[in-house]
Chains A and B, each alone.
Chain A
Amino acid sequence: MEWIAQISQYLLSGLANGSIYGLIGFGFTIIYNATGIINFAQGEFVMLGGMLTVFLLQLFPLPLVLCIGMAIGTTLIIGILFERLAIHPLKNASPITMVIITIGASILMRGLAMILWGKDTHPLPPFSGDEALALGKATIMPQHLWILGLTVLILILNRLFFHHTIYGKAMRACSVNPRAASLAGINVKTMVLLSFAISAALGALAGIIIAPLTMTSYDVGIMLGLKGFCAAIIGGMGSGMGALLGGIILGLLESLGAGLVSAGYKDAIAFVVLLVILFLRPGGLMGKGEMERV
């Protein structure tokens, strides 16, 4: 049955892409929960992860792992700088202002990346070689396993962090009720900073683990960021688990749609799903059924 093989292939790549969208969406959710802001620059953290790793590899003859670590670290610092310079000073600004600022920042980061590294696409070496493995009738790349494995790891770490550490619980408290949280002694400002740092690191990681499969360039952030954002909305903007779930669903729909229906419209799928969710269940799949009506 050849079509089983084909479908499995689609499902597999859908799962891998979906995990990435989920991780990116998760980053959106963390910042949204801590600050109420939709960070349109999230996609650029993803781009920076991949591009910085490529850049460091070219510059220094260091092992891949080290470059990855440095790239994530650098992106984390950039995330912190962004929060300190552009978010923190404007804590009282209107939501419109914040949205426009994050859009501006995203354009800026993209533009700087273009100046520094040009417009070419760059490949990143797969983490453990590119020998395809056979899984039933489908072929699976080791990189797929890395993606799935790391995503599961992040899921577990997420659970541990947000439910079993003091910082994680503090962040959850902030997202539910910032005033009460600060009265309880939680430093909300630190939580905001932490949320940007974590989101930046997660975004960078996502960008790095997908790069061996899809190449990276200065403008991958746009589509990846937007799709990650769709994932977050599909899952329900406040829910991290929802974002991961939304991402997987999105990845699968996209892959099946592109494979079975038409490849040219592949990118449109994410946004059609987004619109459908916004119309039917704006709270997302894991959110409350009805969003707060005006």
Chain B
Amino acid sequence: MGKRNFLIFAVFSLCILALPLLLRESYLLHVFVFIGINTMLAVALNLLLGYAGQISLGHGALFGLGAYLSAILTTKYAINPWMAMVIAGTIVSSLSFLIGFPILKLKGHYLAMATLGFGIILYILFNETVEWTGGPSGLPGIPCLKIGNLAFDHDLANFYLVWIFALVTMMGSLNLNHSRIGRALRAISDSEVAARILGVEAWPLKVKIFTVSAFISSLAGSLYAHTMTFIAPASFGFNFSVEILTMVVVGGLGSVYGSFWGAAILTLLPEWLRVFQDLDIIIYGILLILIMMFMPQGLAGLLSVKKRGP
């Protein structure tokens, strides 16, 4: 990663981990748990979108699938929650692999279409398979995660639980960015033909990154299930997939810290706009359009100190 970048990340992590001291008040701490989960999702999508240049419109559903699998395995089969998380992640990433394998061979935005379709099918499944998922009214009573005597059942513990995962995800992504694989992904997105000429095997790499992205989303879903202890299909529809996309776009495609800022802003925004209940969807729409038109690098572009020579 380079010493300078590592230092920046260390400072960032310390600030995050020290936040609870500042946010003693329970409510914002609670919101920050969500910001952590959303950061994981945004970083996961960014791997696909910002690096490999592939659009997925189904990440909300992958998140949901991870959540439901964790919930079902722990409530119906009394499987250890940590184990369930790994199982859920494996299932979700395997499914994504099966989808990505044929689709990513094709030129164009077929992944967007396939993930859109897959996401909606999952959403309908969440609603219809009532014996498993509890249907539209949701699935309550999900046990919380535990390590020995420490139970992650209150905001402070959940904050650290989620943010450890989120920070590790961010670090992995930052490492990837400054590595051979990260460059290969960005090369594919900038000029796939040139990348191939130089020996980058585009298709296997795209499939790999899609699978990893799905795995992370599933982990986020499992964390969500265990910290909320209750989940319902409404949180995992197309709207949420668009929300994650907006977070990535606002923060800046390809920027890991941008994903954090995008997640933070878009998680806090509805809180601030509580008065304007349904306006949030319009704001997402406007944000997406304006940013892609005028500020395609997102926030990261604004704050960038990239060297532009004389």
Contact = CB atoms under 8 A, between A and B. Distances in A.
Nearest to A37: B109
A103 B288 contact: yes
Contact of B117 (A86, A94, A100, A275): A275
Contact of A272 (B55, B116, B121, B285): B121
B285 A105 contact: yes
Nearest to A90: B293
B106 A294 contact: yes
A112 interface: yes
A103 B112 CA distance: 11
Interface string A275-294: 10011001000000001111
A160 interface: no
Interface string A92-134: 0111110111011111111110110000000000000000000
Contacts of B289: 86, 101, 104-105, 108
Contact of B292 (A101, A106, A229, A271): A101
State the majority secondary structure of interface residues on A: helix
B234 interface: no
Contact of B242 (A107, A274, A278): A107
B205 to A, nearest CB: 11
Given A230-B117, A278-B114, A101 B293 contact: yes
B286 interface: yes
Interface stretch (A13-21, A55-63, A262-270): A262-270
Contact of B279 (A86, A103, A111, A264): A111
A99 B55 contact: yes
Interface in A19-70: 38
A294 B112 contact: no
A26 B58 CA distance: 25
B292 A267 contact: no
A109 B293 CA distance: 17
Interface centre among A99, A222, A278, A291 (most CB of B within 10 A): A278
B141 interface: no
Contact of B113 (A115, A229, A267): A229
A109 B289 CA distance: 12
Interface centre among A230, A270, A275 (most CB of B within 10 A): A275
Contacts of B118: 271, 275
A111 B53 contact: no
A107 B281 CA distance: 7
B238 to A, nearest CB: 7
Contact of B124 (A89, A108, A265): A265
Interface string B256-283: 0000000000000000000000110110
B176 interface: no
A108 B278 contact: no
A291 B284 contact: no
A218 to B, nearest CB: 10
Contacts of A230: 117
Contacts of A80: none
A47 to B, nearest CB: 14
Given A100-B245, A265-B128, A271-B118, A294 B203 contact: yes
Nearest to A262: B128
B105 interface: yes
Nearest to B279: A111
Given A101-B289, A112-B282, 14 more contacts: A86-B289, A90-B292, A97-B292, A109-B285, A230-B117, A264-B128, A270-B117, A271-B118, A274-B117, A275-B114, A278-B114, A292-B107, A294-B107, A294-B203
Interface of A: 38, 86, 89-90, 93-97, 99-101, 103-112, 114-115, 222, 226, 229-230, 233, 264-265, 267-268, 270-272, 274-275, 278-279, 282, 291-294
